[in-house]
């Protein structure tokens, strides 16, 4: 009887440690998450305007139930049709403002603002 209680107490302590560890780590990961992913959801690019520095790779991820695409108005990048959970990445080497849309839904528009490396001088 006494031995059984001791085992239960040890198990409870182990469970508390296990709960504290991964919880703290997950919090750090969320805070450090880089905003270079554009989520495609509810027929919108989120965020609609994303500012990055030159050399950054932006990844679009289709989290919507319908196919979408990503196509720059100046033709500098263009994805294949993206089905649900598909993604497309493009690395922005040149500073500038890139307006893009979805070829299937002309009302879907987004913008990537690429700033020079090293900041303004």
* Residues near Cu ion (CB under 5 A): 68, 102, 104-105, 108
Please, what is the minimum distance in Å from the beta carbon of residue 64 to Cu ion?
Answer: 8
Kindly tell me which of 109 and 113 has the beta carbon lying closer to Cu ion.
109
Q: How far apart are CA 63 and CA 40, in angstroms?
A: 6
Please, what is the minimum distance in Å from the beta carbon of residue 49 to Cu ion?
Answer: 17
Please, what is the minimum distance in Å from the beta carbon of residue 66 to Cu ion?
Answer: 7
Per-residue H/E/C for 5-64: HHHHHHHHHHHHHHHHHHHHHHHHHHHHCCCCEEEEECCEEECCEEEEECCEEEEEEECC
Count Cβ atoms below 10 Å from residue 56 Cβ, excluding itself: 18
Q: How far apart are CA 99 and CA 68, in angstroms?
A: 16
Kindly tell me which of 58 and 102 has the beta carbon lying closer to Cu ion.
102
Please, what is the minimum distance in Å from the beta carbon of residue 69 to Cu ion?
Answer: 7
Kindly tell me which of 74 and 83 has the beta carbon lying closer to Cu ion.
83
Kindly tell me which of 70 and 114 has the beta carbon lying closer to Cu ion.
70
């Amino acid at each position: 009887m006494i031995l059984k209680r001791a085992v239960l107490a040890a198990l409870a302590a182990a469970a508390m440690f296990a709960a504290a560890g991964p919880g703290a780590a997950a919090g750090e990961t969320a805070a450090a998450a880089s905003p270079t992913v554009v989520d495609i959801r509810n027929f919108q690019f989120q965020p609609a305007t994303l500012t990055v520095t030159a050399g950054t790779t932006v990844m679009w991820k289709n989290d919507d139930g319908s196919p979408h695409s990503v196509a720059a108005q100046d033709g500098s990048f263009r994805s294949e049709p993206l089905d649900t959970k598909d993604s497309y990445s493009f690395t922005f080497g040149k500073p500038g403002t890139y307006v893009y849309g979805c070829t299937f839904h002309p009302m879907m528009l987004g913008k990537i603002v690429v700033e020079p490396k090293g900041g303004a001088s």
